[in-house]
Amino acid sequence: MHALGIETSCDETSCAIVKGRKVVANFTVSSLRYHKRYGGIVPEIATRNHLKFIDKVSLLAIRKAKIDFKDIKVIGATYKPGLLGALLVGVNFAKALSLALGKPFLGINHLHAHLFSPFLDNRIPFPFPFIGLVASGGHTEIFLVKDFTQIKLLGRTTDDACGEAFDKVARAFGLGYPGGVYIDKIYSPDFKESFSFRCGRKGFNFSFSGVKTAVIYKKSELEKEKKMDRGTKIKILSSFQESVVKTLVEGIEEAATKLGIRNIVCGGGVVANRRLRELLKDLEKKKKFKIFLPSLAYTTDNAAMVAGLAFYLYNKRGKVSNFNLEVEAN
């Protein structure tokens, strides 16, 4: 049995087909290059591109999977959270497909799909209960996951998402978008403590807006003093990245320790960060936690994680269609 997934919550138009957790097709078209010059995502551009490509990525996925639309047993689409117009395109396409084929439609929570991403293309048993971290451009959230139908929010960012802080700092330094990718490349461990930047953390909540502002102020200050050269830039950005990824790791470590849970699952674009992955590995070694990370292909937005979760919810938990389901924007 196959599940088809649709993801259109932000700038990626994606369609995937899975068989259980095996990804048999996963096609994504990103409108990123049209947003780059604005330094962030422009919702209308994203929506128009979804409309342009949703049918094409779906046909490509069906062709790659070497199946027919009638072989699909369930259709899942991201219905929250995300950009309003962007979500509407994906959800309505999925509902139409579902009606035309007479197959069930499931609305999928994008954040839950990110937590499913480490389990794609493998047979690792689901490590319930686990602490889930979603770290992306729009989200920084910690969950307690007893099952993919029982997910409780423990904490979140109270201002900027961690990926958003990466993007805004990168923009201030004239780097490209998405900023995390560029800062990750520039990062040098030798300079991780050259500047002491601190992110906020209280209970299971985070704050990344203060550190972003501190970094941007520091840059202007050093520019005024004519002390800003390439070396200083690397020092500032390395120290900034270190403070963000360390704070994320401290947050999940505290949640797992306080709740007495040994398994930790991470997902979202920021989880592609090399230093974050390294710190998580260190945590696993030192503290006897078991940590599950997505492969790099499934860290950023993709429909494979949506299709995988739809398959699980339909097949294992008997979830049924709800055509009254409305999209929920950020």
DSSP H helices in the chain: 32-35, 43-65, 84-101, 110-116, 162-172, 179-186, 209-224, 230-259, 274-287, 304-315
Q: Least CB distance from residue 135 to Zn ion, whole Å?
A: 10
**Is 270 a binder of ligand KG4 (CB under 6 A)?**
yes
Which residue from 132, 137, 294, 308 is in contact with ligand KG4, where contact means CB under 6 A?
Answer: 137
Nearer to Zn ion (CB atom), residue 104 or residue 267 = 267
How many chain residues are in contact with Zn ion, going by CB under 5 A?
Answer: 2
Nearer to ligand KG4 (CB atom), residue 72 or residue 142 = 142
- Name, in order, each residue with C-beta under 8 angstroms of 138's C-beta and a sequence gap of 6 or more: 10, 81, 82, 161, 163, 164, 330
Nearer to ligand KG4 (CB atom), residue 104 or residue 163 = 163
Q: Least CB distance from residue 277 to ligand KG4, whole Å?
A: 9
Q: How far apart are CA 265 and CA 38, in angstroms?
A: 33
Q: Least CB distance from residue 267 to ligand KG4, whole Å?
A: 8
Question: Exposed/middle/buried for 68, CB within 10 Å: 0-12, 13-18, 19+?
Answer: exposed
Q: Least CB distance from residue 232 to ligand KG4, whole Å?
A: 21
Q: Least CB distance from residue 178 to ligand KG4, whole Å?
A: 3
Assign 147 to helix, strand or coil. Answer: strand
Q: At CB < 8 A and 24+ separation, what contacts does 195-198 make? A: 195/235, 195/236, 195/239, 195/240, 196/239, 197/239, 197/240, 197/243, 198/243
Which stretch, 67-75, 131-139, 150-158, 250-258, contacts ligand KG4 (CB under 6 A)?
Answer: 131-139
CB 31 within 8 Å of CB 45: yes
What tokens does 196 get?
Answer: 């002491």
**Is 184 a binder of Zn ion (CB under 5 A)?**
no
Q: What is the DSSP string of 229-280?
A: -HHHHHHHHHHHHHHHHHHHHHHHHHHHHHHT--EEEEESGGGG-HHHHHHH
**Is 28 a binder of Zn ion (CB under 5 A)?**
no
The CA angle 157-208-284, to the nearest 5 degrees, is 75
Q: Least CB distance from residue 259 to ligand KG4, whole Å?
A: 25
**Is 301 a binder of Zn ion (CB under 5 A)?**
yes
How many chain residues are in contact with ligand KG4, going by CB under 6 A?
Answer: 19
Assign 138 to helix, strand or coil. Answer: coil
Nearer to ligand KG4 (CB atom), residue 104 or residue 267 = 267
Q: How far apart are CA 157 and CA 205, in angstroms?
A: 5
Nearer to Zn ion (CB atom), residue 58 or residue 136 = 136
Nearer to ligand KG4 (CB atom), residue 155 or residue 179 = 179
Q: Least CB distance from residue 82 to Zn ion, whole Å?
A: 8
Nearer to Zn ion (CB atom), residue 25 or residue 161 = 161
Site for Zn ion in 147-166 (CB under 5 A): none
Which residue from 14, 136, 157, 302 is in contact with Zn ion, where contact means CB under 5 A?
Answer: 136
Q: Least CB distance from residue 18 to Zn ion, whole Å?
A: 18
Phi, psi dihedrals of residue 178, rounded to the nearest 5° = -75, 130
Nearer to ligand KG4 (CB atom), residue 167 or residue 242 = 167
**Is 118 a binder of ligand KG4 (CB under 6 A)?**
no
Q: How far apart are CA 110 and CA 4, in angstroms?
A: 15
- Name, in order, each residue with C-beta under 8 angstroms of 175's C-beta and a sequence gap of 6 or more: 182, 183, 186
Q: CB under 5 to 8 A by kind: which of Zn ion, ligand KG4, none does 90 bind?
A: none
The footprint of Zn ion (CB under 5 A) covers 136, 301
The footprint of ligand KG4 (CB under 6 A) covers 10, 136-138, 163, 166-167, 178-181, 184, 268-270, 272-273, 300-301
